[in-house]
Chain A
Amino acid sequence: MTLAFFDAIHADPWAPDFFDLASLNARASGAVEAAIEAVHQTARSAPLALRSTSLVILGPPGAGKTHLFARLRRRVGPRAVFVHVRPLVHAEMNARFLLGEVVRQLGFPTSQGMPQASALVGSLLGYLGGVGAEFPSTVLAEYAELSADAREARLEGELERLFAIWPELDESYLRRLLAVPFATGATGRALLTWLSGRDCDVAQLQRIGATASLGEEHAFGALRTLAAVAALGAPLVLVFDQLENLIDADGAGPRLRAYAHLAAECVDTLRGTVVVHLALDSEWQRGIEPAFNLSQRSRIVMGRELLELPRAAEREELLRRLHERVPGAREPFPWPLGERRLARLRSSPGLTPRMLLIEFRKALEGEPDEPAQEQLLPAAAEPHNSAAAEQERHDLQGEWQSQLQHARDLIQRAGEERQSLDASRLADGIFACAAFLPQVRLRASGKAPVQLVLESGGRSEAIALVQESHPRSAGATLTKLTALSSSTPVVALRERAREFPPTWKETLRKQAALLETGRARWLDIEPQDCARLLALAALLQAARSGDVSDVRGIQVSEADVQDWARSELDVAEWPLCRALLGAPELGAPGEEDEAAPSTPAASMPPPPSTDRLPPPVLEASPAPRVTGSALAILRRLRVASFERLVREVGRVEPASTRATIQAELETAGERIRWFGRSIVFFRSGE
């Protein structure tokens, strides 16, 4: 145990390390556990009677809503499949998005270590085999010992039993779901990609014997199949968190209505699923529930639980347990608080568990107890002095770096699994940028493949993230965009790390055709920009949920976080934002001032040549900063493809770009040697 534990003041639903006081909010977690148990019992006695349950759990920021998810996951273990869903900010949640989240998290581990997908299938096979759903790993081990043919035959038999119960199940989906625990490496990833409804690449489809990815029209059917079979062994627990992010500035918008529709449909049509809605109490009461119609309300609010704040005895117990986690604590409890501070923390009204953790951390860092009158001063009445404001900025920098690191981890994982990033989450990030670009307005588009519409000076551009993994899907999207470009200018974006390979000739031809229209721009998103987009969206979402605190533990409002981001992050100068706005590249200030366009249309690049893509805007920076890592890494690798070098450097220096690496290699002169345009060799012995 290290002191790093005390830095994590916001609950991570999937954190392996866990800190809990079982008596606190036992009623709320007990309600969910009871619902799961009821599904288990019904599954044993009358599977046809399985119905879904929906519970609403409300609390103020820091009361432990996300912590509740972690507690349940740990306590219920593999006997349920937990899915934690944070809403999209730019667009409406739909069945496809939900399916993607469910299957993505099937790959996450249960508290006992096995992936949730294995727990689901193992429990199901145990149930069908009559040994019970309690021993999924034993059942899976038994299946794993069988030869492939014998296993296939046995699974076939179990499939038949399932169809005897529910003939309406999606057979191809179910077959692939049952195959997940027995597939390894790339095949397992391919199966999960297909099951999630995301676009599979050609190799993935070949591996799993599919001809096409799961279409959007099959998403709800897939969810129904998944939920029904899960209910027999490890029921699906869908937890929608941070729902206050669904509220638009002008009240109940389409996202909230879409959520209500989706949630009500889940309750109606998914079997044996426990749906949990977590939100801020005040926002649920005033902004969310009033937007539901009676029918939706009756389905969504089947039960309601309020999270309680810890009482004096619970506070002391929490603080005592925190003390136990201090490695080599110098003195017994109440060190580091002291009697006086402990007495204050026991009795101060309105303290949440998060506030207690922050207070303990401050005491651990040697910060003296706050005078009572200072802590009671309201924010509105207290003029912030510059030192305090500076302190807050520093702490938000920490929050930002934390979000950025989380996003980089996500990008690295996606890179290792050769997956594209979720287009919806990237669109969320671009949408979040709009708050910092005063000259433009971004709105969601309801018409695929366009995610967003950028409006500026009376003109609009359609923004589409072309993140497809299969050349045909990408080609189809490009064709649609080409058709669209005749009426609306188009900006197409794709991750730089997922550039179309030269073998996708037809796709490249369609891309060129799109750009030839002269009404389309192509932007590659560098990994660094992807990380920034994901981090910004997550930071603003957390701010709205009251989950951003400064170093003093003071909750920072959404408006303050936006102000901080406006002054510190310089979002408008991010390469992607500049490119979206059609601004010229950085590095030539004189030109920049001179050529600053007033509208995106004015900045539209000339049509590119058709034999190759136009040079990526972000790569064309005239003075890239040399990072110094590329040569060191190349020395270690001796020989590598340029693409691999970019990936390796990106891991140690997330701020690096292709351009900086290219520039560094150019300065190496004779020390390196190129084979063609893609392989580079370090000449160490020469």
Chain B
Amino acid sequence: MASARRRAASPALDEAQVAAQLALLRRQLEAQGGVKRSTIKPRALAERLARSLSEEGCEINATWIRRPLREQIDGALAHGAALDRKSLAAQVRGASAAELQRALLEAEREGRLRRVWRGKGEVLLVGSAPVLSGAQLLRLRATLGALDKALARAVRTKGLALLASDVQQVLDDAAQLLPGAAAGAEDGKEATALRSVITAVGAARDGNTGLSFVPDIVRRLSPAMPAAVAQEMLLLAARRELVELRPEGGLGRLTPEDLELCPPGPARTRLSWARLLEGGQG
């Protein structure tokens, strides 16, 4: 015998209950990013809440009620977080893989997100993260590539060594390419700048006389340190007795370009030679 069953009619929604559920759902969305629609019972309530939250800017699809995907991605990468794609996907609720991929591409295009190689894989960072530009990458590669070759040669050849000051110089050159290196001096971080200057004095040192030609020092520092800053730092190093600056006594041997790079000294001299003092060698 066939039975005829009729679906029961949905009970009317209590407005007070709707408001309470809406508040609860907002807190869940804030905390989790998304809530499955199926977890909200009865269905009418779910639909009612979805409509309300959609009006507030949340995104609704067949399965999920979620905070906007863009907001979730930005939130996950806030505060300098570096996440691989899997970790990011785990923190974003309510989006399919394809949908997430499209959102990431859009974020990258808009500069809100950077893809960075870190360790053994690619990670995602907020767009304002201090990363090296393409040109900087090329320069750094050239700088360190030379060191890499030198290291390889030194390791391969028995008895061959590298001068510590040369290696230090390369490393400092590389450090100068990092964003914020030049800004360090401007911010009053004199120690770093002084260290760079002293390293450059050591690197430009003539093996016979122990003197370093000041224009050479300034040129070595020039990628990251403007000539005027380098001169100031040299004068500062001299006042702190880390470096001795010596007046030019030559017979007009300084070219106009070299002259420009030498800080002015007392009695209208130009300080064209530098010598590391004990304080600067330590």
Identify the A interface with B (CB < 8 A). 58, 60-61, 63, 244, 247, 280-287, 289, 304, 306, 308-309, 311-312, 347-352, 355, 358, 375-380, 382, 544-546, 549, 552-555, 557-559
Contacts and interface: CB of A to CB of B under 8 A. Distances in A.
B209 A349 contact: no
A61 B253 CA distance: 15
B241 A378 contact: no
Contacts of A352: 247
B247 A286 contact: no
Given A311-B241, A349-B235, A285 B211 contact: yes
Contacts of A308: 244, 275
B50 interface: no
A350 B209 contact: no
A295 to B, nearest CB: 17
B268 A554 contact: yes
Given A304-B209, A350-B246, A375 B267 contact: yes
A379 B267 CA distance: 9
Contacts of A244: 251
Contacts of A350: 238, 245-247, 265-266, 269, 271
A375 B239 contact: no
A396 to B, nearest CB: 15
A541 to B, nearest CB: 12
A85 to B, nearest CB: 20
B268 A283 contact: no
Contacts of A351: 266
A182 B238 CA distance: 56
Contacts of B245: 349-350
Given A282-B253, A285-B208, A285-B211, 14 more contacts: A60-B248, A61-B247, A280-B249, A281-B211, A281-B273, A282-B249, A283-B253, A284-B209, A287-B253, A349-B271, A350-B266, A355-B267, A554-B268, A555-B247
Given A282-B273, A312-B241, A306 B209 contact: yes
B270 A306 contact: no
A376 B250 CA distance: 19
B209 A378 contact: no
Contact of B270 (A378, A382, A544, A552): A378
B264 interface: yes
B267 A555 contact: yes
B80 to A, nearest CB: 42
Given A61-B249, A309-B246, A350-B246, A378 B208 contact: no
B253 A286 contact: yes
Contacts of A380: 259
Contacts of B252: 557, 559
9 contacts: A60-B273, A281-B273, A283-B253, A287-B253, A306-B275, A349-B271, A350-B266, A358-B267, A377-B264
B145 interface: no
B209 A58 contact: yes
B184 interface: no
A146 to B, nearest CB: 53
B206 interface: yes
Contacts of A281: 209, 211, 246, 249, 273
Contact of A544 (B235, B251, B268): B251
Interface in B229-282: 235, 238-239, 241, 244-253, 259, 263-273, 275, 277
A377 B248 CA distance: 15
A63 B266 CA distance: 14
Contact of B238 (A60, A289, A349, A555): A349
A555 B209 contact: no
Contact of A306 (B211, B251, B264): B211
A244 B248 CA distance: 13
B62 to A, nearest CB: 76
Nearest to B238: A349
Nearest to B209: A285
A552 B265 CA distance: 14
A513 to B, nearest CB: 45
Nearest to A312: B241
A358 B267 CA distance: 10
A43 B268 CA distance: 49
B56 to A, nearest CB: 64
Interface range on chain B: under 10, 10 to 19, 20 to 34, or 35 or more? 20 to 34
Contact of A349 (B251, B265, B267): B265
B210 interface: yes
A553 B247 CA distance: 14
Nearest to B239: A347
A281 B249 CA distance: 8
Contacts of A306: 209-211, 275
A7 to B, nearest CB: 17
Contacts of B210: 306
Contacts of B251: 244, 247, 283, 287, 544, 558
B251 to A, nearest CB: 6
Given A281-B211, A306-B209, A350-B271, A60 B247 contact: yes
Contacts of A280: 249-250
B229 to A, nearest CB: 16
Contacts of B271: 349-350
B268 A378 contact: yes
Contacts of B244: 308-309, 349
A63 B244 CA distance: 13
Contact of B268 (A285, A312, A382): A382
A376 B211 contact: no
A61 B272 CA distance: 13
B279 to A, nearest CB: 10
Nearest to B272: A282
Nearest to B274: A349
A630 to B, nearest CB: 46
Contacts of A544: 251
Contacts of A358: 267
Contacts of B208: 285, 289, 304
A283 B250 contact: yes
Contacts of A379: 268
Contacts of B265: 349-350
B270 A546 contact: no
A349 B239 contact: yes
A380 B259 CA distance: 9
Most buried by B among A58, A312, A352: A352
Nearest to A63: B246
A308 B245 CA distance: 10
Contacts of A348: 266
A192 B44 CA distance: 129
Nearest to B235: A349
Contacts of B267: 355, 358, 375, 549, 552-555
A244 B250 CA distance: 9
A168 to B, nearest CB: 36
A293 to B, nearest CB: 16
Contacts of A304: 208-209
B99 to A, nearest CB: 65
A351 B251 CA distance: 19
Nearest to A381: B264
Interface centre among A347, A382, A545 (most CB of B within 10 A): A347
A347 B244 CA distance: 11
A285 B211 CA distance: 10
Query: Which of B211, B235, B266 gathers most chain A CB within 10 Å?
Result: B266
Q: Which 4 A-B residue pairings sit nearest by Cβ, starting from the closest?
A: A349-B238, A350-B265, A282-B250, A379-B268
Name which of B209, B250, B252 has the most chain A CB atoms within 10 A of its CB: B250
A283 B209 contact: no
B96 to A, nearest CB: 68
A281 B277 CA distance: 17
Given A282-B272, A306-B209, A559-B252, A378 B264 contact: yes
A546 B250 CA distance: 8
A380 B265 CA distance: 12
Interface string B63-105: 0000000000000000000000000000000000000000000
Most buried by A among B249, B252, B273: B249
Contact of B249 (A247, A283, A355, A554): A283
